[in-house]
Amino acid sequence: MYSTKAYSAASATARFVSSSIPRRDPTDRDVQIEILFCGICHSDLHLVRNEWSSIMPTVYPIVPGHEIVGRVTRVGSAVTKYKPGDLAAVGCLVDSDGTCPECKAGLEQLCPNQTLTFNSPDKYLGGVTYGGYSDSIVVDERFVLRVPSNLYIAGAAPLLCAGITTYSPMRRGGVTKGKKVGVVGLGGLGHMGVKFAHAFGAHVVAFTTSPNKKEDALRLGADEIVVSRNADEMKKHAGSFDFILDAVAADHDINAYINLLGRDGTVTIVGAPEKPLAVSAFSLLMGRRKLAGSIIGGIAETQEMLDFCGAHHINADVEVIPIQKVNEAYERLLKSDVKYRFSIDMASL
Ligand SMILES: [Zn+2]
Ligand SMILES: [Zn+2]
């Protein structure tokens, strides 16, 4: 065991403070990574403030962060895929049982015995796991990812959660050339959704509540933008979409989007509104439409996504901050005042 620097919060209302946390010494199969950048995901904020207490109560002190990019500093003797000096990444998962049907299908994100990168029971040290707002992390090789060397690494960090969360459902949903695809909500997730849908060759329509995001949506790769508050604009697109990615985390009218689907079209939700969404059965019945959900992706698919980003030069749009600004960044995140993800420069620690 060794001690590493981190930023932690001691309670749901506490500010982040500089602290130190234990990490295990690398075992034979472990990779030790010096963290260079860590993205700030909205779920970091939910967990720090214990807002998901019913499904995932927060254990304090908490060190969040699951959008990690860094450099390998040490590897165990049985590690074959990484060597010191390599760029490497860690996402939302650091372990799973490897034996259940989900793991065997490469869907570690659905494993009932998974270990999340933070706030999850730590099998090695007891207590809970600590995330990426820290100097270094030690992770089983099976959960470490390769980072294409051409990526802008501060902007690559958010790919590990926001990237795979949007890439996975669109890949599975057949988003490709000739398809009409909508992306609802232009935040951390939505802006990646627009980039991927565009890179997959689809006709991309971005939905937003704020008309002033138009220029940005076009720059990110949207072919059209629809202001969702404008009923006439919405009506023009009725029954025409193959796939809609709904990345809105606040309460909203999901039927307005289901009604935009064509026959057998799918709305996939990747945001997590606190209150249940009211779904009109008729909206689904007419046109055999589907409402689905999706959460991150498996390890192999996450690697596929990173490689795709390397080949297509895709990064998240980030505002780089020093760790000392993390409290302020959380306040701004609540106001959606970031384009489109904060990435913490861990050298500041
Ligand atoms: Zn996340
Ligand atoms: Zn499993």
Q: What is the pLDDT of residues 6-27, one digit of tens each?
A: 999 999 999 999 999 999 999 9
Query: What residues sit around ligand 2, an ion, with C-beta below 5 angstroms?
Result: 96-97, 100, 103, 111
How would residue 223 be classed by pLDDT, with cut points 50, 70 and 90? very high
Local confidence band at 275 (pLDDT 50, 70, 90 cut-offs): confident
Q: Which ligand is nearest to the CA of 192?
A: 1
Report the separation in Å between the CA atom of 105 and the middle of ligand 2, taken as the mean of its atom positions: 9
**Which 3 state secondary structure label does DSSP give 143?**
helix
Q: Which ligand is nearest to the CA of 160?
A: 1
As a whole-number percent, the residues of the chain with pLDDT over 90 amount to: 95
Q: Which of 8, 5, 302, 299 is nearest to 128 (CA)?
A: 8
- Rounded to two decimals, what is the model's pTM? 0.97
pLDDT at 342 over 90: yes
Say if residues 117 and 90 touch (Cβ distance below 8 Å): yes
Dihedral-angle region of residue 185 (phi above 0 means left; psi in -120 to 50 means alpha; beta otherwise): left
159 CA distance to ligand 1 middle (Å): 10
Tens digits of per-residue pLDDT, 306-327? 999 999 999 999 999 999 999 9
Instruction: Give just the sign of the alpha carbon dihedral 317, 189, 315, 148.
Output: positive
218 dihedral zone (left: phi>0; alpha: psi -120 to 50; beta) = alpha
Rounded to an integer, what distance in angstroms lies between the CA atom of residue 133 and that of residue 59? 16
Q: Is 113 exposed, middle or buried (0-12, 13-18, 19+ CB in 10 A)?
A: middle
Task: Please give the distance, rounded to the nearest whole angstrom, from the Cα atom of residue 324 to the centre of ligand 2.
Answer: 37
Q: How far is the CA of 230 from the centre of ligand 2 (A)?
A: 45
Stated length of the chain: 349
Q: How far is the CA of 229 from the centre of ligand 1 (A)?
A: 28
Residue 211: predicted pLDDT: 86
What separation in Å is there between the alpha carbon of 67 and the centre of ligand 2?
22
Read off the pLDDT of each residue in 167-187 and give the average, rounded to a whole number.
97
Ligand 2 center from residue 92 Cα (angstroms): 15
> Is residue 153 within 8 Å of residue 97, measured between CB atoms?
no
Dist CA 238 CA 260 (whole Å) = 4
**Ligand with minimal distance to 295 CA:** 1
